[in-house]
Structure 1
Amino acid sequence: MFPPGHGNDYLNVGDIYRISVFGTNKMLATRGGKIFLEEYEKGYWHQMWICEMNSDRRISLRNRHTKRYLGRRENHTVGCVSSHSGASEWLTFTRLSLGGYSLEVSHEGKNELRPIQRVNNNSPDLKVGEVCTQFGLHRLGKSVFRRFEWVVPGRLARSSAPYYNGEDADENINETSIEFLNGYRIKNIISLNSVELPPRPRGWLRAAGISYSHIKAVECAAVTQDQFDQIRNAYDKAGATIIYCGYGDGRTGMAISAIQLFQGRALDDNDYRENGVQSPSQIAALNALSNRLNSVDGHSGPVDTLDTQPPPYAAPENTASEKKQK
């Protein structure tokens, strides 16, 4: 029995993969810290690897069963290690013209890369060697958190909605998506999806110790100033947080920009665009938030008191029309 696909799938953070010797049914598997090759078995978690990205934006593969990361061990052998914070777990996949990938790891904590290869054709063992073995990547099922990346490593992340496939309603929370969140120690979700999760998956999140805040926003539309405050409160009350909407651009970028403004950063329209903000109405809402925050910061009265009186000067003749437009 062969794994699904042809072994030419692209790496995507959050997805689960099988890794084969290209064109065969030999899979990378692990027990404890040892890595070896064995025949494909459907549903076997020891042969499944979750694609993750560390704080240095390096790719790591975590075994779904042992929760350990594929890489180079201290004795220069291929194995599984307990964390992905060090150079030993940095992986580089290079797509080969004949199909599949070469797989390389860092050499002795340096940027020099060494290929992972079979010891020989008759052995199930792998080693850090000199000649590339042709590996296949087989993605399992639908994407989980596509486009995942850290905005602030270990504190704030962004992505598409889990299982997003073109519609907000694709969002889904299940065992695999919770497993992904736990792998990154994410304990807080801020969703700007137009669709709220049903009660049952919200209950699964609570049972996993993950808080969930839904702040409804329609694609390409701006949120209100009150919703900006809800985003701030949802972010401040918890630890590592992930923000998503549907695809993970406009509404997510608006929330990321709002958090940065609340933290005192000075942003302009170009910064908003770099964060993924898309529409003029979203940019206008963020500029209004910036003006509101600057007005509050410059106020000389008590912090919790808003001065509703106009400043002591004669209003121009078009004030009424401006208020109407506002």
Structure 2
Amino acid sequence: MATTGGFQSFDWVKKHIANGDKVARSSSPHYDGKKDNSQYLNADSIKFLHDQGIKHVISLNSSKDGKYSGKQGIEALLKDANIVYTHLPVQDFQAPKEKQLETGYVNFCKHRNSTLVWCGFGHGRTGTMISALQIYEEKEK
């Protein structure tokens, strides 16, 4: 587990993921423990994502950008860093809808070896999406 670049609880998912596929999970960057809109990226965050080989982010935060994101939002910063951003907004303490889980999987399949899933704290909504990805992966076998 790492707390680097503002990502808390970053961890690679190892179980029920096909060989060669890589998916990680974490909090949203610089999450303050209270609100989805506390997320923001900085140079250290981008460096951390690059160091981990992340090329795709699935965000389940209700807010697309955080209050500290500045003029350039998270999606634009990730795009400039050659990282694809899939935003599937889900309110905290709610579950993603079935269509969002399916969309997450379709986009994961385009970046099977380099996806990070995040939500505020990195457990509830993220855990639900990770479980869905694992179920879809098992179904593919």
Number of residue pairs aligned between Structure 1 and Structure 2: 128
Partner of 2:107, secondary structure, is helix
Q: Does 1:236 align with 2:109?
A: yes
Matches within 5 A, 1:248-259: 248-259=122-133
Q: State the 1:207 CA deviation.
A: 1.6
- Contact 1:164 1:246 (C-alpha < 8 Å) held by counterparts: yes
Partner of residue 31, structure 2? 164
Answer 1 or 2: higher relative contact order, Cα 8 Å, separation at least 6.
Answer: 2
Pick from 8, 13, 18 the counterpart of residue 2 of structure 2. 13
Show structure 2 runs of 5+ residues with no match: 15-19
1:246 aligns with 2:120: yes
The 8 Å contact of residues 150 and 157 in structure 1, kept in 2 or not, is answered as yes
- Per the alignment, in what secondary structure is the counterpart of residue 172 of structure 1? coil
Preserved contact between residue 14 and residue 180 of structure 1 (Cα < 8 Å): no
Letter in 1 for 2:114: A
Q: C-alpha distance in 2, partners of 1:224/1:205?
A: 25
What is the letter of the counterpart of residue 99 of structure 2?
D
Name the residue aligned to 1:178. 46
Question: Does the residue aligned with 1:264 lie in a helix, a strand or coil?
Answer: helix
Task: Tell me which residue corresponds to 2:135.
Answer: 261
Q: Detail structure 1 runs of 4+ shifted over 3 Å in the superposition.
A: none
- Alignment match, 1:310: none
Per the alignment, residue 155 of structure 1 pairs with: 22
CA shift, 1:209, in A, is: 0.8
Write the letter of the residue equivalent to 1:260: Q
CA distance in 2, matches of 1:240, 1:260: 15
Normalising by the residue count of structure 1, what TM-score does the alignment of the two structures yield?
A: 0.37
How much has 1:154 moved relative to structure 2? 7.2
2:135 alignment partner, SS class: helix
Please give the secondary structure, in 1, of the residue aligned with 2:8. coil
CA distance in 1, matches of 2:27, 2:126: 9
Q: Within 2, Cα distance between the matches of 1:147 and 1:240? A: 17
**1:264 shift after superposition:** 2.1
Give a deviation string over 1:55-80, Cα, whole Å, max 9, x none.
xxxxxxxxxxxxxxxxxxxxxxxxxx
Between Structure 1 and Structure 2, which shows a larger proportion of helix residues?
Answer: 2
1:172 and 1:260 map into 2 onto residues whose CA distance is 28
Specify the alignment match of 2:6 in structure 1.
Answer: 144
Q: Aligned pair 1:203/2:70, yes or no? A: no
Corresponding residue for 1:189? Answer: 57
Residue 146 of structure 1 aligns to a residue in which SS? Answer: strand
1:239-272 Cα shifts (integer Å, max 9, x gaps) = 311101100111000000000111126xxxxxxx
Q: Which amino acid aligns with 1:215?
A: L
Give the secondary structure class of the aligned counterpart of 1:159.
strand
Q: Which runs of 5+ in 1 are unaligned?
A: 1-11, 16-142, 266-326
Match of 2:17 in 1: none
- For 1:190, the aligned partner's letter is I
> Matches of 1:227 and 1:202 in 2, distance apart?
18
What root-mean-square deviation, in Å, do the aligned CA atoms of Structure 1 and Structure 2 show? 2.1
> Identity over aligned residues, as a percent?
35
Match of 1:217 in 2: 90
Encode CA deviations 1:290-322: one digit per residue, 9 max, x unaligned: xxxxxxxxxxxxxxxxxxxxxxxxxxxxxxxxx
Residue number in structure 2 paired with 1:279: none
- The SS at the match of 1:148 is strand
